[in-house]
Amino acid sequence: MAKYKHIEVPKNGKAITVKKKKLKIPNNPIIPVIEGDGIGRDIMKATRRVVDAAVKKAYKGRKRIVWMDIFAGERANELYGEWMPQETFDAIKQYKVALKGPLTTPIGGGFRSLNVTLRQVLNLYACVRPVSWFKGVGSPVVHPEKLNVVIYRENTEDVYAGIEWKKGSKDAKKVIAWLNKSMKTNIRTDSGIGVKPISVTGTKRLVRKAIQFAIDKKRSSVTFVHKGNIMKYTEGAFRDWGYQVAIAEFRNKIVTEDELWSKYKGKMPKGKILIKDRIADSMFQQVLTRPDEYDVLATPNLNGDYLSDACAAQTGGLGMAPGANIGDYIGLFEATHGTAPKYADKDVINPGSLILSAAMMLEYLGWGKAAELIEKGIQKTITKKTVTYDLHRQMKGAKKIGTSQYATNIINNM
Ligand code: NAP
């Protein structure tokens, strides 16, 4: 077992291992947990309590999570003098499944996003964000119940690859001079430059996961969301490679939208998954105007980032938006939102997103019964109209409660 400087490995838990290309989950798995900055401190406490209670209730003591604190962001800087210590990566690699609170990223300068670094270094190439509505939650749309999508967002490339040069820097000047001279472009010399790589490898492994998920969970369609009319060789290629994977690897399980009309007269054959694509701008209005026509969405990195917040807004906002970063045999579960610093340490923020992310984690462990109890607890708490400020302001006649009380109510309502 690896020796860590500041991480204390609990003696009463066991590591998750990989056997025959499958995760082997002991009854007492050690789960590394990054508390996170800002509201991370509020929501992680609440989440751990809810998860422990759900697992206890579901398995009557036969199973339990053994949490292991690991460090990133402000807490890591205090302990190690660096924001993202190597042993944090090592621990997630060793223990395979981890839970994470939000981490601060400076805008327009400073260090690179720790969140993006974690996803890239650990090769967590699929960011999975389910968005659906809990009955009773206020919404800016008339029929929030019609939206029930799972976004599969590519997580390692696109403009998030971090390849960019500041306006006026030596490197920016060099790149601009080379492009203008050798490639006959006409880039203004006072430009900042960013590079947008989208690869066959990155696209195909993401799309493969999205389609496999749709098959496993009997979902109806997978839609590629791209801006391929403008960015032909990156986003357009994402679409083309997506169809290639669908046809080459899932031929008997899928029907493309073209085939739906050319072979099946617009009537979807039973048990097949419809593969279609939409241009990103159109997709943003489609999720508002025809949400029930969409199911699994597979997107390049930036589109998925925008789209998941936009979809979350329809179903209660960022307080209800869970997520997971999944690679081959590693899963890092985290909420869609950030550190919301103005609410930090005030015991007011909605822990729902992180709690639901933890429920996704339980599902990933194969502990679906505990995950179901959490969803049930949240639904009942909302039905009883005892909610945090964000849901309170969208609901008539609700009672506003704090983060820790909300967690207690979820536990009592499981
Ligand atoms: P944010 O932290 O997501 O917060 C923006 C707003 O969203 C909040 O002011 C609040 O809106 C609402 N919100 C967020 N979390 C909520 C929750 N749990 N319950 C209810 N409402 C919630 O975005 P930001 O202010 O742009 O970013 C702050 C920092 O977080 C930045 O450093 C950013 O880089 C970082 N960030 C980290 C991650 C990550 O760790 N994965 C993701 C995104 C951003 P109201 O004020 O209207 O209530």
Please give the pLDDT value at position 3: 85
Please state, in angstroms and rounded to a whole number, the distance separating the CA atoms of residues 184 and 179.
6
Q: Which two tokens stand for residue 177?
A: 């001079």
Q: Which atom of ligand 1 is nearest to the CA of 390?
A: 20
Question: Is there an atom of ligand 1 within 6 Å of 337 CB?
Answer: yes
Please give the pLDDT value at position 382: 97
Please give the pLDDT value at position 2: 64
Smallest Cα–Cα separation from 245: which of 273, 267, 264, 278?
273
Please give the pLDDT value at position 109: 67
Paired residues of 270 in beta bridges: none
pTM score of the predicted model: 0.94
Nearest-CA residue for atom 8 of ligand 1: 340
Other CB atoms within 10 Å distance of the CB of residue 84:
21
Paired residues of 298 in beta bridges: 152, 224
**If you count them, how many residues does the chain have?**
414
* Segments of the chain scoring below 50 in pLDDT: none
Please give the pLDDT value at position 173: 98
| Single-letter amino acid, residue 201 | T
Distance (angstroms) between ligand 1 centre and the Cα of 273 equals 35
pLDDT tens-digit profile of 248-267? 999 999 999 999 999 999 99
Mean pLDDT of the chain, nearest integer: 96
Please give the pLDDT value at position 120: 87
Distance (angstroms) between ligand 1 centre and the Cα of 190 equals 32
Smallest Cα–Cα separation from 321: which of 45, 125, 135, 134?
134
Please state, in angstroms and rounded to a whole number, the distance separating the CA atoms of residues 167 and 71.
34
Question: Is there an atom of ligand 1 within 6 Å of 338 CB?
Answer: yes
Please state, in angstroms and rounded to a whole number, the distance separating the CA atoms of residues 314 and 317.
7
Smallest Cα–Cα separation from 132: which of 281, 273, 294?
294
| Single-letter amino acid, residue 64 | R
Please state, in angstroms and rounded to a whole number, the distance separating the CA atoms of residues 365 and 58.
14
Nearest-CA residue for atom 27 of ligand 1: 338
Nearest-CA residue for atom 45 of ligand 1: 390
Question: Is there an atom of ligand 1 within 6 Å of 211 CB?
Answer: no
Tokens 């800016």 belong to: 140
Q: Which two tokens stand for residue 139?
A: 């919404």
Other CB atoms within 10 Å distance of the CB of residue 310:
14
State the catalytic residues.
160, 227, 281, 305
All residues at 6 or more sequence positions from 230 whose CB lies less than 8 Å from its CB, including other chains: none
> 337, 345, 390, 403: which to mutate for ligand 1, most atoms within 8 A of CB?
337
Q: Quick one: DSSP state of residue 161? A: G
Distance (angstroms) between ligand 1 centre and the Cα of 301 equals 18
Helices 403-412 and 368-383, packing angle to 10 deg? 110
Nearest-CA residue for atom 40 of ligand 1: 102
Nearest-CA residue for atom 37 of ligand 1: 338
Tokens 């920016």 belong to: 172
Distance (angstroms) between ligand 1 centre and the Cα of 342 equals 9
Question: Is there an atom of ligand 1 within 6 Å of 357 CB?
Answer: no
Distance (angstroms) between ligand 1 centre and the Cα of 372 equals 26
| Single-letter amino acid, residue 276 | K
Q: Give CA separation, 231 vs 197, 239, 356, in Å.
A: 11, 11, 35
How many degrees, rounded to 5, is the angle at CA 75 between CA 312 and CA 102?
5
> Exposed, middle or buried: residue 304 (CB in 10 Å: 0-12, 13-18, 19+)?
buried
Q: What strands, in cross-sheet order, belong to the sheet with 254-256?
A: 66-70, 30-34, 97-100, 331-334, 324-326, 126-132, 148-154, 296-299, 221-226, 273-279, 254-256
